[in-house]
Amino acid sequence: MGLRRPHKHYVATLLVNIIILIFMTSVSLYGQQDAQYTQYMYNTVSVNPGYAGSRGHMSIAALHRSQWAGLDGAPTTQTLNLHTPVGYKGVGLGFSVVNDIIGPTSETNFDVDFSYTIYTSNEGRLSFGLKASAHLLDIRFSELNQYAPDAALENDVDNQFSPNFGAGVYYHNERFYAGLSVPRFLQTSHFDESSLSTAQERMNFYFITGYVWDLSRFVKFKPTLLTKVVQGAPLQVDLSANFMLNDKFIFGAGYRWSAAVSGMVGFNVSDGFMLGMAYDRETTDLGDASFNDGSFEIIIRYDFIKTRGHLKSPRFF
């Protein structure tokens, strides 16, 4: 009797478990990365503190991402952020919570952002930002299926704390924006260097930019780019193109270099209330429909606009 070929879903789940186990037991793992977003253009404050307060009013956003849906232990991310200009002209403050889960690991970052903006022209604004972070790490080794028990994986890690800080610069006018940032400077070791389990958090360098064109009275077009560089990991380049119809409906597509293609839709319910959704499909072998159902992302943003003032239409960034 011939051996049965393993089901692809089982193979993919096993692969994820192997990756998690390697993460836990490697002597020194470099290149740990920040959470990943497809709708990064609506979540800029999470990676660049210079964005805090740049919308000109209080803004609050919540995002949920399920990556590789259908795989046990696949990553999920939840983000909540609030930022606003404050009384003194040019100062912005923000607060973010990012919860990132993969398998038995949970990482939560609490960020406080400060920005100061100077006017470079009638429309141009250049902002300098600082970010202070508190990082909590949980690892539930007890959830791992250990076929060969390892003494280094006997005790769970509960709420291991590490502080960090980052910085960024952000420029924008009515049509163009660009930013450069490092959200976390400290290359934190989450475990004892002498133990078998050591993971180091490396600096992630972000560059983000975009431009808005008026194709007609009712149609706007916005291409965007996000580049992320971190030692020990491949260069990440996200390209996207979105259209806004009648200042209400948004649709577009994206491409993550050598990784995934995306589709995005959004709707401005009102001048201050926006809903957005995105779907990713891997272009790697993991994109096989037998492995997972793709990645899903939803974002809700509300701007507390007291007066429209000079705002002629909802901001596209």
**Local confidence pLDDT in tens for the 317 residues of the chain:** 443 434 444 444 444 454 444 444 433 334 346 888 999 999 999 999 999 999 999 999 999 999 988 888 889 999 999 999 997 789 999 999 999 998 888 899 999 999 999 999 999 999 999 999 999 988 877 666 666 666 556 667 777 889 999 999 999 999 999 999 999 998 866 555 444 444 567 789 999 999 999 999 999 999 999 999 987 788 999 999 999 999 999 999 999 998 999 999 999 999 899 999 999 998 987 767 667 889 999 999 999 987 655 555 567 78
Residue with tokens 């990482």: 107
Q: Give the pLDDT score at 21.
A: 47
- Among residues 124, 48, 112, which one has the least CA distance to residue 86? 112
Q: Give the pLDDT score at 160.
A: 84
Contact 278, 272 (CB under 8 A): no
* pLDDT tens, position by position, 65-99: 999 888 888 899 999 999 999 977 899 999 999 99
Residue with tokens 């879903």: 9
Q: Give the pLDDT score at 211.
A: 97
3-state secondary structure of 80: strand
Q: Give the pLDDT score at 158.
A: 74
Q: Give the pLDDT score at 120.
A: 95
Q: Give the pLDDT score at 257.
A: 93
284 exposure class (CB count in 10 Å sphere: 0-12, 13-18, 19+) = exposed
Q: Give the pLDDT score at 28.
A: 37
Distance of alpha carbon 131 from alpha carbon 47, whole angstroms? 9
Which domains does the chain carry? 8-303 (2.40.160.40)
Q: Give the pLDDT score at 232.
A: 77
- Strand 199-201 with 29-32, pairing: parallel
pTM of the full predicted structure? 0.83
Distance of alpha carbon 299 from alpha carbon 262, whole angstroms? 15
Record the tokens describing residue 59, joined without a space.
């803004």
Nearest-Å Rg of the Cα atoms of the chain is 21
